């Protein structure tokens, strides 16, 4: 159906109805009731808030009063502790003073003992004697030990203390014994052996001396003889120089190969090195044996008529005359024993002096410890009975505020009623 075919509806008239006043009155009544309820609710809420504030204020005042009482108790406790600590400090001060006096006495005694020139001298002598004994054992340095003992003897002669007499006698006896011993210059002898070892390479062999042509001695011509006599003499001299006869004790020297010659020279060097080691060890038997072996080898295989060989053998002969002996372990035993006895006597006297002063020091320390203890006891008793915590300003404020608080509470109760 089209829009044109639809029927046109007629407009209906507006009817205005007049309401009655009952609904309006009911609404006003409801609003009044709601307003009254809201006012009552707000009043109750205000009263609750006010009450909560009063309770919080009262709680704060109670907490403040409790805190002040706790602070007063803590203050009282701190005062008591302070009194005890002061008494303890007094006791510790007295003990420290006593300890300081003891330390001062001990330090003075130690300084007096350490600074003693005689004790210093004895300690120095002990060190020097030990060094000299080590030199004797390691290198056989007799001259060094003699010099050390002479120095010690000279230092001891400056003091006249009777306690030093045993040390002086022991040092003098050891010094005399060392001076009577044969002296061997170990370092100088070692250098001589080293020079001989170096000179081995230049020693001429026996075969070199035999095969070397000798220089013909010039023969003066006889002016009185005839020319044919001079010619005959020259011819005869030339024939004699063609043949030279020498007596050899051992034919092996003429039959040496170059390799054997090398090993002979190396054997000589090793023997000389072993002799030097025996010298440092003060082993006289090995020292003499090595030198004898070297001398026999040179005489057997080398040219004894050569100046170099003769000088070399002369040096060996001089070294063989040295008396290389081991120094006894107790060479300076008497001196060391005398020094140790003196040191032991000093230690005994020191211990006896300490034993005498110890009881007096203990009694003084006990008296110093008992006096502060009594003072601390009296202080603790006075702290327990007589010390009272003062009333704090907050406590006064709390006590003054309590009547006002009571009046305020009564007023609130009246308003509620």
Match 């001298």 to its residue by tokens. Answer: 121
Task: Kindly state whether residue 227 falls inside one of the protein's structural domains.
Answer: no
Task: Kindly state whether residue 220 falls inside one of the protein's structural domains.
Answer: no
Spell out the long-range contacts of 173-176 with Cβ–Cβ below 8 A and sequence spacing 24 or more.
173/334, 174/149, 174/331, 174/332, 174/334, 174/335, 175/146, 175/149, 175/150
Distances from the Cα of 59 to the Cα of 125, 307, 323, 362, angstroms:
90, 130, 114, 62
402 and 321 share one domain = no
Residues of the chain under the 70 pLDDT cut: 1-21, 110-115, 207-225, 238-258, 326-329, 357-417
* pLDDT tens for each residue of 11-52: 555 444 555 567 777 878 888 888 888 887 888 888 888 888
Structure tokens at 119: 């004790």
d(CA 332, CA 149): 10
d(CA 315, CA 329): 32
pLDDT of residue 360: 60
Match 């002969």 to its residue by tokens. Answer: 317
d(CA 149, CA 171): 7
Question: 294 and 199 in contact (C-beta within 8 Å)?
Answer: no
> How big is the chain by its Cα radius of gyration, in Å?
64
195 and 318 share one domain = yes
Task: Kindly state whether residue 176 falls inside one of the protein's structural domains.
Answer: yes
SS3 category, 205? strand
Task: Kindly state whether residue 300 falls inside one of the protein's structural domains.
Answer: yes
Match 């011509």 to its residue by tokens. Answer: 221
49 and 153 share one domain = yes
Question: 337 and 169 in contact (C-beta within 8 Å)?
Answer: no
Question: 331 and 177 in contact (C-beta within 8 Å)?
Answer: yes
Question: 308 and 229 in contact (C-beta within 8 Å)?
Answer: no
46 and 117 share one domain = yes
81 and 151 share one domain = yes
Q: Which residues have a Cβ under 8 Å from the Cβ of 102 and sit 6 or more positions away? A: 361, 365
Question: 338 and 166 in contact (C-beta within 8 Å)?
Answer: yes
167 and 199 share one domain = no
Structure tokens at 4: 């044109």
- Domain boundary residue among 306, 326, 346? 326
313 and 337 share one domain = no
The continuous run of DSSP H or E covering 265 comes out as: helix 258-280
The continuous run of DSSP H or E covering 386 comes out as: none
d(CA 159, CA 109): 22
- Domain boundary residue among 293, 326, 359? 326
Q: What does the H/E/C string look like for 14-54? A: CCCCCCCCHHHHHHHHHHHHHHHHHHHHHHHHHHHHHHHHH
Task: Kindly state whether residue 203 falls inside one of the protein's structural domains.
Answer: yes
47 and 166 share one domain = yes
Spell out the long-range contacts of 7-10 with Cβ–Cβ below 8 A and sequence spacing 24 or more.
none
How many domains does the chain divide into? 2
Match 């704060």 to its residue by tokens. Answer: 60
CB atoms within 10 A of CB 15: 5
298 and 349 share one domain = no
d(CA 182, CA 300): 32
- The two counts, helices (H) then strands (E), for the chain are 12, 0
SS3 category, 328? coil
Task: Kindly state whether residue 365 falls inside one of the protein's structural domains.
Answer: yes
d(CA 237, CA 219): 9
391 and 312 share one domain = no
CB atoms within 10 A of CB 49: 10
pLDDT of residue 392: 41
Structure tokens at 165: 């007499």
- Domain boundary residue among 326, 347, 368? 326
Task: Tell me which residue range forms the domain holding 401.
Answer: 40-181+331-412
* pLDDT tens for each residue of 108-150: 776 666 557 788 888 888 999 998 888 787 777 788 888 888 9
Task: Kindly state whether residue 124 falls inside one of the protein's structural domains.
Answer: yes
Q: What is the DSSP string of 43-94?
A: HHHHHHHHHHHHHHHHHHHHHHHHHHHHHHHHHHHHHHHHHHHHHHHHHHHH
146 and 93 share one domain = yes
99 and 174 share one domain = yes
d(CA 150, CA 220): 70
Task: Kindly state whether residue 108 falls inside one of the protein's structural domains.
Answer: yes
């Amino acid at each position: 159906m089209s829009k044109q075919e639809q029927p046109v509806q007629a407009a209906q008239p507006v009817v205005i109805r007049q309401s009655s006043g009952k609904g309006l009155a009911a609404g006003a009544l409801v609003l009044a009731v709601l307003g009254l309820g809201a006012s009552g609710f707000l009043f109750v809420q205000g009263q609750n808030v006010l009450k909560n504030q009063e309770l919080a204020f009262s709680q704060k005042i109670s907490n403040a009063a409790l805190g002040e009482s706790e602070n007063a108790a803590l203050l009282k406790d701190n005062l008591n502790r302070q009194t005890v600590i002061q008494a303890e400090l007094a006791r510790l001060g007295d003990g420290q003073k006593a300890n300081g006096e003891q330390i001062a006495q001990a330090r003075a005694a130690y300084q007096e003992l350490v600074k003693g020139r005689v004790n210093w001298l004895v300690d120095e002598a002990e060190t020097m004697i030990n060094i000299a004994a080590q030199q004797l054992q390691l290198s056989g340095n007799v001259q060094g030990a003699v010099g050390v003992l002479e120095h010690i003897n000279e230092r001891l002669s400056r003091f006249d203390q009777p306690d030093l007499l045993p040390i002086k006698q022991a040092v003098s006896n050891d010094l005399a014994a060392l001076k009577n011993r044969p002296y061997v210059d170990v370092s100088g002898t070692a250098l001589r052996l080293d020079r001989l070892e170096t000179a081995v390479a230049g020693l001429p062999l026996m075969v070199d001396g035999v095969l070397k042509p000798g220089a013909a001695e010039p023969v003066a011509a006889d002016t009185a003889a005839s020319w044919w006599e001079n010619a005959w003499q020259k011819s005869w001299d030339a024939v004699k120089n063609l043949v030279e006869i020498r007596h050899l004790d051992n034919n092996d020297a003429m039959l040496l190969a170059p390799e054997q010659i090398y090993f002979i020279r190396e054997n000589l060097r090793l023997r000389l090195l072993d002799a030097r080691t025996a010298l440092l060890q003060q082993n006289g038997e090995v020292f003499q044996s090595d030198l004898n072996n070297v001398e026999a080898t040179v005489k057997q295989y080398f040219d004894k008529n050569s100046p170099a060989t003769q000088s070399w053998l002369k040096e060996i002969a001089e070294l063989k005359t040295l008396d290389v002996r081991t120094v006894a372990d107790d060479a300076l035993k008497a001196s060391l024993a005398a020094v140790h006895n003196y040191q032991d006597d000093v230690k005994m006297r020191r211990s006896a002096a300490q034993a005498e002063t110890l009881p007096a020091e203990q009694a003084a320390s006990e008296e110093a410890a008992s006096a502060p203890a009594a003072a601390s006891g009296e202080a603790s008793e006075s702290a327990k009975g007589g010390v009272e915590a003062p009333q704090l300003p907050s406590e006064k404020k709390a006590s003054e505020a309590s009547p006002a608080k009571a009046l305020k509470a009564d007023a609130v109760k009246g308003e509620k009623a």
